[in-house]
A = this chain, B = another copy of it.
Amino acid sequence: MSAPLPSWRPGKVRDAILAFVEAVTTEGGPDHVPPAERIAVFDNDGTLWCEQPMQVQLLYGQAQLHNKLAADPTLKDRQPWKALIEHDFKTLHALGKEAVLGAVIRSAAGVTIAQATAEALAWLTSAEHPLLKRPMLEVVYRPQLELLAFLREREFKTFIVSGGGVDFMRAIAETTYGVPPEQVIGSSLATSLVEADGRLELMKQAHLASFDDREVKVQNIALHIGRRPILCVGNSDGDLAMMRYTLSGDGRRLALLVHHDDGEREVAYDRDFKLSPLVEALDRAEELGITRVSVKDDWDAVFPDR
């Protein structure tokens, strides 16, 4: 068998991951965790795929704007749509994650979940990423795909817990990440059950049932998984609560914080990225026992080969 995690450079971080997995999977060892309790949670935007210049779902919202404007021309004078049309990142960043992402998620109302997922899939499998100039589904981080697969080989159950819309992520989570829909937790709209031709479908309502960020991530982990994770991977202050929740359980735990510090191969950002800032988690990582992952130093490759 080849060495695990080939895109993770040898060093303290890779060693920490391997030592953790070894410890919790060693039968009879002091840190052994039964497979059923090997719950790993991953944020998505900025953790599993690129979130620059803005989250992929916002790129989708922008791409859908011509349809939305045809239906409601007044959108062009309203935020965050005006800023999305004008590529006005200063305003988008000032509006913040919930105002922008929440609006884009809400704008998917008025169709069934099945329709919304099919439309998202069609775009995700055909669009090009504006910054990286590669297919949208190839902006995922190669080291993370390896980590997800490695964990599953070691009988972990891998979950996504993200602020992204749950239906949007489910469109590609299984094929891209190997994470089935029932292991994807995200922001969600209220739905109503409708009947057409004897067939029951769920229609998306323009009302956020859950905006899955910060402490809501912990609440949703409890609601959907019902077990405290032993491994948590994130990249922003939106993930700090679930990292702390993970670490404050009994037994051996690991929390990884991806720090985007590689301006050459990707984008270097943290505190000033107001669509998902990294401030407190970075400042408190050491105190809280969170392991910082440097994209620049710890990842030998960032994206999949082309």
Contacts and interface: CB of A to CB of B under 8 A. Distances in A.
A218 B198 contact: no
A157 to B, nearest CB: 7
Contact of A200 (B202, B218, B226): B218
A66 interface: no
A180 B222 contact: no
Contacts of A209: 223
Contacts of A184: 226
Interface string A152-183: 00000100000000110010001000001111
A224 interface: yes
A194 to B, nearest CB: 10
Interface stretch (A134-142, A241-249, A263-271): A241-249
A113 interface: yes
A270 B193 CA distance: 26
A191 interface: yes
A25 interface: no
Identify which of A174, A241, A248 gathers the most chain B CB atoms within 10 Å of its CB: A248
Contacts of A226: 166-167, 170, 181-182, 184
Nearest to A246: B200
A180 B248 contact: no
A87 interface: no
A113 B228 CA distance: 11
- Chain copies in complex: 2
A184 B219 CA distance: 16
Interface residues of A, number: 34
Identify which of A181, A215, A227, A241 gathers the most chain B CB atoms within 10 Å of its CB: A181
A191 B210 CA distance: 13
Contact of A193 (B167, B198, B218): B218
A218 B245 contact: no
A188 interface: yes
Nearest to A196: B248
A1 interface: no
A122 interface: no
A36 B175 CA distance: 12
Contacts of A193: 215, 218-219, 241, 245
A191 B218 CA distance: 10
A69 interface: no
A90 interface: no
11 contacts: A166-B223, A166-B226, A181-B226, A182-B183, A182-B227, A184-B226, A191-B222, A193-B219, A200-B241, A200-B244, A200-B248
Interface of A: 36, 39, 113, 157, 166-167, 170, 174, 180-184, 188, 191, 193, 198-200, 202, 209, 215, 218-219, 222-227, 241, 244-245, 248
The 6 closest A-B pairs by CB, nearest first: A181-B226, A199-B248, A193-B215, A200-B245, A182-B225, A170-B226
